[in-house]
């Protein structure tokens, strides 16, 4: 049963030695590692494969992700039942297309409101390692992606680009322990750093320690490495250790990192907007109109509510699977950012929509 064990041992030794050499070189060189090019080629090679597998397995992944969200299962079941009575057959396909379409539409409105010029991309893979929080998206240097660009989806900040290959790039998620984002509290403006804790809530260290922090208050990026004004999360709790120069705030991210799909990579901000335009306005009693309820479901094929004032959103286009966004006046430009509830108060108010160019 034992075969040629000397040859096996020699080869094993050789491979272990090679690994250790690679580890040493890569660890010592850090950011200037000679293997960066090799990593890029690996991304270029695997990108298309992962893209294919990802699109084939997307319904499976979506189904599994839905199972995980106990709260949303009920909603999903209701939605599916309604669809079954309305449309016979093809529910699954339609459902997925509908979801993609709505997601694209929501993202269009979002980047339009924030006046960002963006590159759209789909998440095709997550890091194969169990110890890092990165994802691969299907846009690379061929579409003008560079490192350090901010990545967002229609809910808020996703992360930033850390590695670019020909057709794909790697995004470090905001929840990764290595991620650190300069941020400020909405309305009041105290600044600090948001860091990730893996799957747990984000930590926001804000100075001064006496800063007044309310539950539900949004936290946004400030412009340094990241594009300014992207919502990160809302305040859950805060505490200040006695004598500490900062206050430690727990944030619940707006983005659901467990089912990332369509994202937008921000190339630049078109023009200055109200810095808080992407979060609900400060809840003070006012006569502003209330946020109308989101349209429950937009049937594919009736895409009349597509944000066509989206000329300013530059390169962002609908994903191939969704119906093309038509031209013509948009009946509703009111943002429908359901995941961002205004802090504590009713009535919540709407930020005035960005002026159409």
Partner 1 sequence: MGLATLWIVTAIAVQGALLSRLTFLGPHPDLVLVVVLSIALYDGPLAGAVSGFAAGLAVDLLSDHVLGISALVLCIAGWATGTVRDYYDRLSATTPIVIVAVASAGATLFLGALLKLLGDPRIIWSGLAADVPRVALYDAVLAPFVFAAVSGLNRRVDPGVREW
Does residue 170 touch partner 1 according to CB under 8 A? yes
For partner 1, the closer of residues 25 and 87 by Cβ is: 25
Q: Which of 104, 124, 158, 211 binds partner 1 (CB under 8 A)?
A: 124
> Does residue 63 bind partner 1 (CB under 8 A)?
no
Between 145 and 279, CB nearer to partner 1: 145
**Contacts of residue 135, Cβ cutoff 8 Å, sequence gap at least 6:** 123, 125, 126, 127, 159, 170, 171, 173, 260
Considering only 61, 189, 301, 355, the residue that binds partner 1 (CB under 8 A) is 61
Sorted by sequence, the CB contacts under 8 Å of residue 239 that are 6+ apart come out as 247, 248
- Return the residues of window 94-123 that contact partner 1 according to CB under 8 A: 123
- Give the number of other CB atoms < 10 A from CB of residue 91: 15
Residue number with CB closer to partner 1 (77 or 177): 177
Pick out residues in 185-224 that bind partner 1 (CB under 8 A). 198-199
- By CB under 8 A, residue 130 contacts partner 1: yes
Cis status, amide bond into 38, omega within 30 of 0: no
Question: Could you please report the per-residue DSSP string of 159-173?
Answer: EEEEEE-SS-EEEEE
Name which of 34 and 329 has its Cβ closer to partner 1: 34
Please, which residue, 7 or 272, has the CB nearer to partner 1? 7
What is the CA angle 298-300-306, rounded to 5?
60
CB 132 within 8 A of CB 196: no
Pick between residue 195 and residue 221 the one whose CB is nearest to partner 1.
Answer: 195
Assess 82 for contact with partner 1 (CB under 8 A). no
Among 163, 231, 161, smallest CA distance to 194 is for: 231
| x/- letters, 247..276, toward partner 1 (CB under 8 A) | ----------xxxx----------------
CB nearer partner 1, residue 197 or residue 288: 197
Kindly state the DSSP code that residue 200 receives in the 8-state scheme: S
Least CB distance from residue 163 to partner 1, whole Å?
Answer: 7
For partner 1, the binding residue among 131, 287, 293, 320 (CB under 8 A) is 131
* H/E element, 188: none
**CB environment 184-199: b (16+ within 10 A), e (fewer):** bbbeeebebebbbeee
Q: Does 147 bind partner 1 (CB under 8 A)?
A: no
Other residues' Cβ atoms within 10 Å of the Cβ of residue 293: 8
**Which of 52-60, 81-89, 182-190, 223-231 is the region at the interface with partner 1 (rule: CB under 8 A)?**
52-60
| Residue closer to partner 1 (CB basis): 7 or 284 | 7
Cα angle at 279 between 311 and 310, to 5 degrees?
Answer: 5
339 sits near partner 1 (criterion: CB under 8 A): no
From candidates 43, 253, 314, 351, binder to partner 1 by CB under 8 A: 43
The total number of residues shown for the chain amounts to 357
Does residue 47 sit in helix, strand or coil? helix
In angstroms, the CA 274 to CA 22 distance is 49
Applying CB under 8 A, the residues found at the interface with partner 1 are 1-5, 7-8, 11-12, 15-16, 18-23, 25-27, 33, 35, 38-39, 42-43, 46, 49-50, 52-54, 57, 60-61, 64-65, 67-69, 123-136, 162-163, 170, 172, 176-178, 198-199, 257-260
């Amino acid at each position: 049963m034992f075969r040629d064990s000397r040859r096996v041992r020699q080869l094993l030794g050789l491979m272990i030695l090679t690994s250790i050499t690679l580890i040493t070189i890569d660890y010592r060189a850090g950011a200037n590692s000679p293997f960066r090019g090799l990593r890029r080629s690996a991304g270029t090679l695997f990108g298309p494969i992962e893209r294919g597998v990802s699109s084939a397995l997307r319904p499976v992944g979506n189904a599994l992700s839905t199972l995980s969200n106990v709260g949303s299962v009920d909603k999903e079941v209701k939605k599916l039942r309604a669809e079954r009575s309305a449309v016979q057959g093809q529910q699954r396909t339609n459902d997925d297309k509908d979801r993609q379409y709505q997601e694209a539409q929501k993202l269009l409105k979002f980047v339009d409101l924030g006046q960002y010029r963006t590159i759209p991309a789909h998440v095709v893979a997550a890091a194969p390692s169990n110890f890092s929080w990165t994802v691969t998206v299907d846009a690379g240097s061929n579409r003008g992606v560079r490192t350090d660009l901010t990545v967002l989806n229609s809910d808020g900040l996703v992360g930033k680009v850390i590695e670019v290959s020909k057709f794909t790039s790697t995004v470090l998620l905001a929840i990764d322990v290595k991620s650190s984002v300069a941020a400020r509290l909405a309305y009041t403006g105290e600044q600090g750093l948001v860091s990730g804790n893996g799957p747990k809530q984000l930590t926001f260290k804000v100075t001064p320690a006496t800063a007044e922090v309310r539950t539900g208050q949004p936290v946004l990026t400030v412009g340094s490495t990241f594009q300014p004004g992207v919502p990160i999360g809302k305040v859950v709790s805060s505490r200040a250790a006695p004598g500490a120069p900062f206050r430690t705030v727990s944030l619940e991210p707006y983005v659901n990192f467990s089912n990332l799909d369509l994202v937008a990579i921000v190339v630049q901000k078109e023009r200055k907007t109200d810095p808080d335009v992407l979060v609900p306005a400060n809840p003070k009693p006012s006569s502003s109109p209330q946020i109308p309820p989101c349209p429950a479901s937009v049937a594919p094929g009736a895409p009349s509510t597509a944000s066509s004032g989206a000329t300013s959103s530059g390169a962002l286009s609908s994903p191939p699977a969704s119906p093309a966004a038509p031209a013509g006046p948009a009946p509703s430009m009111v943002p429908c950012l359901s995941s961002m509830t205004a802090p504590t108060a009713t009535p919540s108010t709407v930020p005035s929509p960005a002026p159409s160019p």
